[in-house]
Amino acid sequence: MHKKKILEKDKQILFRNWQKSQLIKNKAVLQAFQSVNRELFVDPSYLDLSYSDQPLPIGSGQTISQPTTVALMLQILNISPEHRILEVGTGSGYNAALLSKLGELVVTIERHKELVKLARKNLLSAGLEKVKVVEGDGKLGYSSLAPFDRIIITAATEDVPKNLKDQLTVGGLLVAPIGPTHGCEMKKIVKVSLNDFQTSSHGLFSFVPLV
């Protein structure tokens, strides 16, 4: 069977598993998954594993997250088409590609120069030119385009940097894995007023650390 057909088959198996288990119910997230080819964002040496439900190395000591983890985070984010989104930790650009299918504006920050180049190339090959990929320290956020309706941190952090909380709109929400790299808690943080936040927990995960 042609490799492209095999990958498409693997993609549909994963998709049906989500539907069957009702783990991923958000229709927009499911549509985004269907419309973005993960194989464009996977290291070529792991191409056959594009739709295996596991994290894969992408270089610079980083990984592309497990597809189910990505989809769960996007489901918790509950993005509307008019939302402005900030992502901290671009990696190979896959999550940013999905975000671009869900919201109005996507800014994604990556500190590793090689991954910035890789993500830009991958997003271009996926025909997604509107994502703004920034090289820099994600903990500082991106004040020139703030505030953001949604912020997602894709690496384990001990706490949420104040800059990111400040750059969130009132009523906006932030999703981040909080705690040690193995066994961090997925937290949803809603900004209810300028200085008040409500936090809820959504399970245990493993992530590379935010640096």
The catalytic residue among 65, 125, 200, 201 is 65
Does the annotation mark 100 as catalytic?
Answer: no
Do residues 175 and 157 lie in contact, with contact meaning Cβ atoms separated by under 8 Å?
A: no
Task: Mark 36-64 as b/e (b = at least 16 C-beta within 10 Å).
Answer: bbbbbbbbeeeeebbbeeebbebeeebbb
Q: Which of 76, 112, 33 is nearest to 188 (CA)?
A: 76
Terminus-to-terminus CA distance in the chain, angstroms? Answer: 42
The two three-digit tokens of residue 136, written as one number: 């820099």
**Residues assigned a catalytic role:** 65
